[in-house]
Amino acid sequence: MLGMTWGDISPWIFYDMGLPLLLVAAAAYLLGCSNGAVIVSKYILRDDVRTHGSGNAGLTNFYRTFGGPLTFVVILTDVLKAVVAVWAGILAAKYLVADELLVVALGKYWAGAFCLLGHMFPCMFHFKGGKGILSGGAIAIMIDWRIALVVWGGFLILAVLRLLLWLLCICIVFAVVLVLAVVCLSVFCLAVVRGSLVGRIVLNVAAASGTAS
């Protein structure tokens, strides 16, 4: 490539690098658009999951709304499309590009990113997709198990923190209710004791006045 002008290099860059990038991106994005929750709910159950619950086209909202064995179909769809997108990117890159580093970039990071983008913003479903947790986890595993460990570990930590925050809120509410109950009970008992004392005094005074008369 020494001695080549920019006019000679730019077409080579487009056809040898730009075109494979566009092809892999388009294929991965279209695969990502195959949202399992939307497909199963809209075309099998005839009831779009996005009209229920949080309105999100993800696994969590689907399970909360419909549940049942079709949840596994959603899981399988979202995982398989991520695997297919990454492998398709790798195979396409191997046939289109000779550079091994570019094969890795195209097949894993580039294809995985556009697959996740298609899952979250599917053009065929009005750009209303899922959060990409399941597909993103599958893509992370395909890229590198160490990256997947960090991703899933972070997600697990967030889930545990959310659970702890929920339990803390419950404990605070319970403590406030308990304090209010103790205060109310104390006031009631004090009123009963005072009422009994006043009643005894009144009775004693009435008895004493009756005896004197």
What pLDDT band is residue 101 in, cutting at 50, 70 and 90? low
pLDDT surpassing 70 at residue 206: no
Q: What is the pLDDT at residue 8?
A: 47
Q: What is the pLDDT at residue 172?
A: 92
Q: What is the pLDDT at residue 3?
A: 46
On whether the CB atoms of residues 46 and 40 are closer than 8 A, the answer is no
On whether the CB atoms of residues 113 and 132 are closer than 8 A, the answer is no
3-state helix, strand, coil in the chain (%, to 5): 85, 0, 15
Q: What is the pLDDT at residue 210?
A: 62
Q: Fill in the amino acid letter for 148.
A: A
